[in-house]
Amino acid sequence: MPVLEVVGLRKSYKDRLVVDGVGFAVREGETYGLLGPNGAGKTTTISMVVGVLARDAGEVRIAGRPHDTAGRATKSLIGYVPQELAVYPDLTARENLRFFAGLYGIRGSEARRRIGEVLEIVGLADRAGEAAGKYSGGMSRRLNIGIGLLNRPRLLVLDEPTAGVDPQSRTSILDSVRRLAGDGTAVLYTTHYMEEAQRLCDRVGIIDHGRMLAEGRPDELGAPDLEAAFLQLTGRELRD
Ligand SMILES: Nc1ncnc2c1ncn2[C@@H]1O[C@H](COP(=O)(O)OP(=O)(O)OP(=O)(O)O)[C@@H](O)[C@H]1O
Protein backbone atom coordinates (compact mmCIF):
# COMPACT_ATOMS: atom_id res chain seq x y z
CA MET A 1 0.00 0.00 0.00
CA PRO A 2 1.42 3.43 -0.91
CA VAL A 3 2.14 5.87 1.91
CA LEU A 4 0.41 8.59 -0.10
CA GLU A 5 -2.41 8.20 -2.60
CA VAL A 6 -3.88 11.24 -4.32
CA VAL A 7 -6.91 10.90 -6.58
CA GLY A 8 -8.65 13.53 -8.70
CA LEU A 9 -7.52 16.64 -6.82
CA ARG A 10 -9.20 19.80 -7.98
CA LYS A 11 -8.99 23.45 -6.97
CA SER A 12 -10.33 26.69 -8.44
CA TYR A 13 -9.65 30.26 -7.45
CA LYS A 14 -12.76 32.19 -8.45
CA ASP A 15 -13.45 30.90 -11.98
CA ARG A 16 -9.92 29.74 -12.59
CA LEU A 17 -9.23 26.02 -12.36
CA VAL A 18 -5.61 25.79 -11.13
CA VAL A 19 -5.50 22.09 -10.20
CA ASP A 20 -7.47 19.89 -12.53
CA GLY A 21 -7.83 16.22 -11.59
CA VAL A 22 -4.30 15.54 -10.34
CA GLY A 23 -3.56 12.04 -9.03
CA PHE A 24 -0.43 10.10 -8.06
CA ALA A 25 0.96 7.80 -5.40
CA VAL A 26 4.20 7.65 -3.41
CA ARG A 27 5.43 4.42 -1.87
CA GLU A 28 7.56 3.78 1.19
CA GLY A 29 11.19 4.70 0.50
CA GLU A 30 10.29 6.36 -2.78
CA THR A 31 11.24 9.89 -3.80
CA TYR A 32 8.64 11.45 -6.07
CA GLY A 33 9.29 14.76 -7.82
CA LEU A 34 6.48 17.03 -8.88
CA LEU A 35 7.87 19.12 -11.73
CA GLY A 36 6.41 22.06 -13.56
CA PRO A 37 6.93 25.70 -14.50
CA ASN A 38 5.97 28.67 -12.33
CA GLY A 39 2.25 28.73 -11.78
CA ALA A 40 1.72 25.11 -12.89
CA GLY A 41 -0.10 24.25 -9.68
CA LYS A 42 2.60 22.43 -7.71
CA THR A 43 2.31 24.40 -4.49
CA THR A 44 -1.48 24.32 -4.64
CA THR A 45 -1.35 20.55 -5.13
CA ILE A 46 0.96 19.84 -2.23
CA SER A 47 -0.89 22.31 0.01
CA MET A 48 -4.01 20.21 -0.54
CA VAL A 49 -2.04 16.99 -0.01
CA VAL A 50 -0.80 18.10 3.40
CA GLY A 51 -4.13 19.66 4.29
CA VAL A 52 -3.26 23.34 4.74
CA LEU A 53 -5.54 24.19 1.80
CA ALA A 54 -9.07 22.85 1.36
CA ARG A 55 -9.66 20.92 -1.85
CA ASP A 56 -12.73 21.37 -4.04
CA ALA A 57 -12.72 17.72 -5.02
CA GLY A 58 -10.54 14.63 -4.82
CA GLU A 59 -9.15 12.29 -2.21
CA VAL A 60 -5.95 12.08 -0.23
CA ARG A 61 -5.10 8.87 1.62
CA ILE A 62 -2.15 8.50 3.95
CA ALA A 63 -1.12 4.93 4.73
CA GLY A 64 -4.52 3.83 3.41
CA ARG A 65 -6.56 6.18 5.58
CA PRO A 66 -8.52 9.18 4.31
CA HIS A 67 -6.69 12.41 5.16
CA ASP A 68 -8.85 15.38 5.96
CA THR A 69 -7.75 18.60 7.56
CA ALA A 70 -9.19 17.63 10.94
CA GLY A 71 -7.69 14.12 10.89
CA ARG A 72 -5.06 14.05 13.61
CA ALA A 73 -4.14 10.42 12.99
CA THR A 74 -3.03 10.95 9.43
CA LYS A 75 -1.64 14.44 10.10
CA SER A 76 0.89 13.01 12.51
CA LEU A 77 2.32 10.88 9.68
CA ILE A 78 3.23 13.91 7.55
CA GLY A 79 6.19 16.26 7.74
CA TYR A 80 5.66 19.39 5.68
CA VAL A 81 8.33 21.93 4.78
CA PRO A 82 6.83 24.94 2.99
CA GLN A 83 8.75 27.34 0.77
CA GLU A 84 8.69 30.15 3.29
CA LEU A 85 11.02 29.84 6.21
CA ALA A 86 9.35 29.53 9.56
CA VAL A 87 12.14 29.76 12.10
CA TYR A 88 12.60 32.25 14.94
CA PRO A 89 15.73 34.28 14.18
CA ASP A 90 16.57 35.11 17.82
CA LEU A 91 16.47 31.49 18.93
CA THR A 92 19.28 29.06 18.28
CA ALA A 93 18.64 26.15 15.93
CA ARG A 94 18.34 23.83 18.92
CA GLU A 95 15.88 26.18 20.67
CA ASN A 96 13.82 26.43 17.48
CA LEU A 97 13.67 22.65 17.28
CA ARG A 98 12.73 22.41 20.97
CA PHE A 99 9.92 24.90 20.45
CA PHE A 100 8.50 23.02 17.46
CA ALA A 101 8.96 19.66 19.18
CA GLY A 102 6.76 21.04 21.97
CA LEU A 103 4.06 21.84 19.42
CA TYR A 104 4.16 18.21 18.31
CA GLY A 105 3.86 17.18 21.97
CA ILE A 106 7.43 15.82 22.04
CA ARG A 107 9.14 16.76 25.32
CA GLY A 108 11.95 15.91 27.75
CA SER A 109 14.42 13.17 26.89
CA GLU A 110 12.43 12.13 23.81
CA ALA A 111 12.70 15.70 22.49
CA ARG A 112 16.45 15.79 23.20
CA ARG A 113 16.97 12.48 21.40
CA ARG A 114 14.86 13.49 18.44
CA ILE A 115 16.48 16.94 18.13
CA GLY A 116 19.91 15.29 18.16
CA GLU A 117 18.85 12.91 15.37
CA VAL A 118 17.35 15.67 13.27
CA LEU A 119 20.41 17.94 13.60
CA GLU A 120 22.51 15.02 12.45
CA ILE A 121 20.27 14.31 9.44
CA VAL A 122 20.30 17.93 8.21
CA GLY A 123 23.99 18.38 8.98
CA LEU A 124 23.66 21.19 11.53
CA ALA A 125 24.85 19.39 14.67
CA ASP A 126 28.00 21.50 14.99
CA ARG A 127 26.14 24.80 14.45
CA ALA A 128 23.10 24.06 16.64
CA GLY A 129 24.01 26.65 19.27
CA GLU A 130 23.99 29.59 16.86
CA ALA A 131 21.08 31.98 16.45
CA ALA A 132 19.02 30.95 13.41
CA GLY A 133 19.01 34.58 12.26
CA LYS A 134 22.74 34.31 11.65
CA TYR A 135 22.34 31.28 9.39
CA SER A 136 22.78 31.42 5.62
CA GLY A 137 19.66 30.87 3.51
CA GLY A 138 20.69 27.28 2.90
CA MET A 139 21.24 26.55 6.58
CA SER A 140 17.86 28.08 7.45
CA ARG A 141 16.30 25.82 4.85
CA ARG A 142 18.00 22.81 6.43
CA LEU A 143 16.73 23.85 9.84
CA ASN A 144 13.24 24.13 8.38
CA ILE A 145 13.56 20.60 7.01
CA GLY A 146 14.70 19.50 10.45
CA ILE A 147 11.49 20.91 11.92
CA GLY A 148 9.51 18.86 9.39
CA LEU A 149 11.34 15.73 10.53
CA LEU A 150 10.75 16.06 14.28
CA ASN A 151 7.74 13.74 14.33
CA ARG A 152 9.51 11.04 12.25
CA PRO A 153 7.03 11.39 9.38
CA ARG A 154 6.29 8.50 7.05
CA LEU A 155 5.67 11.09 4.34
CA LEU A 156 7.95 14.10 3.97
CA VAL A 157 6.65 16.88 1.72
CA LEU A 158 9.17 19.49 0.56
CA ASP A 159 8.26 22.52 -1.53
CA GLU A 160 11.29 23.61 -3.59
CA PRO A 161 13.79 22.69 -0.86
CA THR A 162 16.86 23.52 -2.94
CA ALA A 163 15.64 26.73 -4.64
CA GLY A 164 18.20 29.49 -4.23
CA VAL A 165 20.44 27.75 -1.69
CA ASP A 166 24.23 27.59 -1.76
CA PRO A 167 25.85 24.48 -3.31
CA GLN A 168 26.96 23.10 0.06
CA SER A 169 23.45 23.25 1.53
CA ARG A 170 22.03 21.84 -1.67
CA THR A 171 24.30 18.82 -1.47
CA SER A 172 23.45 18.43 2.20
CA ILE A 173 19.69 18.63 1.53
CA LEU A 174 19.88 16.05 -1.26
CA ASP A 175 21.97 13.76 0.93
CA SER A 176 19.38 14.08 3.69
CA VAL A 177 16.58 13.18 1.30
CA ARG A 178 18.50 10.13 0.06
CA ARG A 179 19.18 9.01 3.59
CA LEU A 180 15.56 9.44 4.70
CA ALA A 181 14.27 7.58 1.64
CA GLY A 182 16.83 4.86 2.35
CA ASP A 183 15.27 4.51 5.79
CA GLY A 184 11.82 4.10 4.25
CA THR A 185 10.42 7.64 4.31
CA ALA A 186 8.21 8.47 1.32
CA VAL A 187 9.34 11.83 -0.06
CA LEU A 188 7.24 14.14 -2.21
CA TYR A 189 9.01 17.22 -3.44
CA THR A 190 8.70 19.97 -5.98
CA THR A 191 11.58 21.41 -7.91
CA HIS A 192 12.51 23.47 -10.91
CA TYR A 193 15.83 21.70 -11.25
CA MET A 194 15.45 18.96 -13.84
CA GLU A 195 18.95 17.68 -13.48
CA GLU A 196 18.49 17.34 -9.75
CA ALA A 197 15.17 15.52 -10.22
CA GLN A 198 16.78 13.21 -12.74
CA ARG A 199 19.40 12.15 -10.22
CA LEU A 200 17.29 12.09 -7.09
CA CYS A 201 13.79 10.93 -8.00
CA ASP A 202 12.59 7.37 -8.40
CA ARG A 203 9.60 8.79 -10.23
CA VAL A 204 8.47 12.19 -11.40
CA GLY A 205 5.16 13.73 -12.37
CA ILE A 206 5.17 16.57 -14.87
CA ILE A 207 2.42 19.08 -14.23
CA ASP A 208 1.35 22.11 -16.25
CA HIS A 209 -1.79 24.24 -16.17
CA GLY A 210 -2.97 22.15 -13.23
CA ARG A 211 -2.88 18.84 -15.10
CA MET A 212 -0.58 15.87 -14.81
CA LEU A 213 0.90 15.51 -18.28
CA ALA A 214 3.13 12.51 -17.73
CA GLU A 215 4.44 10.33 -14.96
CA GLY A 216 7.12 7.72 -14.60
CA ARG A 217 10.75 6.97 -13.90
CA PRO A 218 12.93 9.75 -15.30
CA ASP A 219 14.40 7.34 -17.88
CA GLU A 220 10.92 6.14 -18.92
CA LEU A 221 9.58 9.44 -20.18
CA GLY A 222 10.70 8.90 -23.75
CA ALA A 223 13.23 11.70 -24.15
CA PRO A 224 16.98 11.90 -23.63
CA ASP A 225 16.51 13.67 -20.31
CA LEU A 226 13.84 15.36 -18.23
CA GLU A 227 14.55 18.76 -19.72
CA ALA A 228 13.80 17.37 -23.20
CA ALA A 229 10.77 15.42 -21.94
CA PHE A 230 9.40 18.60 -20.43
CA LEU A 231 9.91 20.57 -23.62
CA GLN A 232 8.22 17.82 -25.65
CA LEU A 233 5.22 17.70 -23.34
CA THR A 234 4.65 21.37 -22.76
CA GLY A 235 6.31 23.02 -25.74
CA ARG A 236 8.10 25.22 -23.24
CA GLU A 237 11.36 25.42 -21.37
CA LEU A 238 10.93 24.88 -17.67
CA ARG A 239 11.48 28.49 -16.68
CA ASP A 240 9.51 30.77 -19.00
N1 LIG B 1 -4.60 32.29 -3.20
C2 LIG B 1 -4.68 32.37 -4.53
N3 LIG B 1 -5.62 33.10 -5.15
C4 LIG B 1 -5.72 33.15 -6.50
N5 LIG B 1 -4.87 32.48 -7.34
C6 LIG B 1 -3.91 31.74 -6.78
C7 LIG B 1 -3.74 31.63 -5.36
N8 LIG B 1 -2.70 30.80 -5.12
C9 LIG B 1 -2.23 30.43 -6.33
N10 LIG B 1 -2.95 30.98 -7.32
C11 LIG B 1 -2.73 30.77 -8.77
O12 LIG B 1 -2.82 29.39 -9.03
C13 LIG B 1 -1.85 28.99 -10.01
C14 LIG B 1 -1.01 27.87 -9.46
O15 LIG B 1 -0.15 28.39 -8.44
P16 LIG B 1 0.91 27.50 -7.66
O17 LIG B 1 1.54 28.37 -6.63
O18 LIG B 1 0.28 26.25 -7.20
O19 LIG B 1 1.96 27.15 -8.80
P20 LIG B 1 3.38 26.52 -8.68
O21 LIG B 1 3.45 25.46 -9.72
O22 LIG B 1 3.66 26.10 -7.30
O23 LIG B 1 4.32 27.72 -9.09
P24 LIG B 1 5.68 28.24 -8.42
O25 LIG B 1 6.73 27.38 -9.00
O26 LIG B 1 5.75 29.65 -8.92
O27 LIG B 1 5.56 28.14 -6.95
C28 LIG B 1 -1.07 30.24 -10.34
O29 LIG B 1 -1.57 30.76 -11.54
C30 LIG B 1 -1.35 31.17 -9.20
O31 LIG B 1 -1.31 32.50 -9.63
> How does pLDDT run across 117-131, given as a tens digit for each residue?
999 999 999 999 999
How high is the ipTM of this complex? 0.95
Is pLDDT of 212 > 90?
yes
Gap from CA of 211 to ligand 1 centroid (Å): 13
Return the bridge partners of 26, or none: 4
Q: What is the pLDDT of residue 240?
A: 46
With vertex at residue 227, the alpha carbon angle to CA 225 and CA 229, rounded to the nearest 5 degrees, is: 70
Burial 198-220 (b: 16+ CB within 10 A, else e): bebbebbbbbbebebbbbeebee
pLDDT digits (tens, 9 = 90+) for 14-67: 999 999 999 999 999 999 999 988 889 999 999 999 999 999 999 999 999 999
Superfamily of domain 1-77+184-240: P-loop containing nucleotide triphosphate hydrolases (3.40.50.300)
| Whether residue 51 has its Cβ less than 6 Å from ligand 1 | no
Is pLDDT of 239 > 70?
no
Number of C-beta neighbours around residue 88 at 10 A:
13
Pair type for strands 65-66 and 16-26 = unpaired
What's the predicted TM-score (pTM) here?
0.92
Q: Where along the chain do the CATH 3.40.50.300 domains lie?
A: 1-77+184-240, 78-152
| Whether residue 163 has its Cβ less than 6 Å from ligand 1 | no
Superfamily of domain 78-152: P-loop containing nucleotide triphosphate hydrolases (3.40.50.300)
Gap from CA of 168 to ligand 1 centroid (Å): 29
Is pLDDT of 230 > 70?
yes
| Whether residue 41 has its Cβ less than 6 Å from ligand 1 | yes
As a whole number of angstroms, the distance between CA 28 and CA 239 comes to 31
Gap from CA of 44 to ligand 1 centroid (Å): 6
* Sign of the C-alpha dihedral computed for residues 132, 136, 139 and 144 taken in this order: positive
Is pLDDT of 233 > 90?
no
